[in-house]
Amino acid sequence: MDVEAPTGQLAYPPKSDNRTEITQLAYLHSFDAVQNKNYVCLVYKEESRKTGEWKLKVDLKGMRVTAINPDSSSLRRNLAKAAADGREYLVTGYQIEPSEDDPRLLENRIFFDEAAQPQSIEIHLVTRNADGSPTERQVVAIDWPAGNRSEAGKRFVSLPKSTFSHSNEELAYVDSYDVIANHHYAYLAYKRTHVKTGKWELRIVANGTSGTSIDSEDATLVRRIQAAVGDGKDYVVLGVPLATKDARMAETRLYFDETLTPSHGEIHLVTRKADGSPMEKQVARFAWPALVPVGP
């Protein structure tokens, strides 16, 4: 449903049409007595009716329009850098910086959480009184819009498509953003089955790190489980874990029961906040696939 802008404004956002829905989020106005000019700033969300993809527009009427794309890789890099520098927000887009002789100011501030993900945006506007002194600062705060293009809805590793010879079944998926590396680590576990024989293997694919595959009938796996029991462990680590000198870690664990039969797997993933401390560990758990009977 379209949202109408309030009446009494000096300017309005574009009207929605059959392709794009326009939603006004904020309006700022301040008069500059030195220039005898109204500064009018509109903030609105521009969203595709077909895809749900959106971007923010900050329109300083008669001067400049700033477009903020939530999927922009440069926005992610700049947010990560701001977080790493210990800042509370990122100033982005067109701005007016005050000087010793001119106190005018316009800033678009994006505030973010410990994972450098946008949480809100503030627009700050200052103009001048007749004597050149600054007017009262106008500030509006807006929650960061939710939408189909937000990072929360994305996957960074995809399940390979099944073919005429092999079928693929997803078992688990996990991802976590590393602020310092500005990288989404992602892991996906799936069962790859040979259509004709029913023979299958467990595969782990990853984004930017090595994956692994385990043959369900591999005798080496049995020996590794036996060795783990001897070491007092109840799981074995599959493939090559992500082992670093910092807080990052990623490993796939295969647990087994008292008969030394695999019972389930877990993918453990830890990334870093801007200060280098660990994010909350993400764990994806999946049952060990059952054997598939092969017909005559």
- Reported as a single tens digit per residue, the pLDDT across 106-117 is 999 999 998 888
Mean of all residue pLDDT scores within the chain: 89
Mean pLDDT of 141-165: 80
Within 8 A by CB and 6+ apart from 153, the residues are none
Q: Is the pLDDT of residue 2 over 70?
A: no
Cα 80 to the chain's mean position, in Å?
Answer: 12
DSSP calls for 65-114: EEEE-TT-HHHHHHHHHHHHTT-SEEE-SS-B---SS---EEEEEEEE-T
- Reported as a single tens digit per residue, the pLDDT across 156-173 is 999 999 999 999 999 999
Q: Which of 184, 239, 253 is nearest to 210 (CA)?
A: 239
Cα 114 to Cα 247: distance, rounded to the nearest angstrom: 15
What pLDDT, on a 0 to 100 scale, did the predictor assign at position 7?
52
- Reported as a single tens digit per residue, the pLDDT across 193-202 is 999 998 999 9
Cα 68 to Cα 51: distance, rounded to the nearest angstrom: 17
Contacts made by residues 248-257, CB under 8 angstroms, sequence distance 24+: 248/178, 248/185, 248/272, 248/278, 250/185, 250/187, 250/206, 250/209, 252/187, 252/189, 252/204, 252/212, 254/214, 254/221, 254/225, 254/288, 256/225, 256/228
Q: How confident is the model at residue 149 (pLDDT cuts 50, 70, 90)?
A: very low
What pLDDT, on a 0 to 100 scale, did the predictor assign at position 295?
39
Q: How confident is the model at residue 216 (pLDDT cuts 50, 70, 90)?
A: confident
Give the strand order in the sheet containing 138-143: 89-91, 105-112, 118-126, 138-143
Please state the φ and ψ torsions of residue 260, each to the nearest 5 degrees.
Answer: 65, 25
* Cβ atoms < 10 Å from Cβ of 26: 16
Least confident segment among 48-52, 56-60, 143-147: 143-147
E strand intervals along the chain: 20-32, 37-48, 54-60, 64-68, 89-91, 105-112, 118-126, 138-143, 166-178, 183-194, 200-206, 212-215, 235-243, 249-256, 262-270, 282-287
Mean pLDDT of 141-148: 81
Measure the CA angle with vertex 191, ends 188 and 197; round to 5°: 160
Task: Tell whether pTM > 0.75.
Answer: no
Least confident segment among 34-43, 142-151, 232-241, 255-264: 142-151
Task: Yes or no: say if 80 and 73 are a contact pair by the CB < 8 Å rule.
Answer: no
Q: Which residue has the tokens 């010793």?
A: 100
Task: Yes or no: say if 252 and 204 are a contact pair by the CB < 8 Å rule.
Answer: yes
Q: Which amino acid is at 147?
A: G
Task: Yes or no: say if 48 and 20 are a contact pair by the CB < 8 Å rule.
Answer: yes
What pLDDT, on a 0 to 100 scale, did the predictor assign at position 5?
42
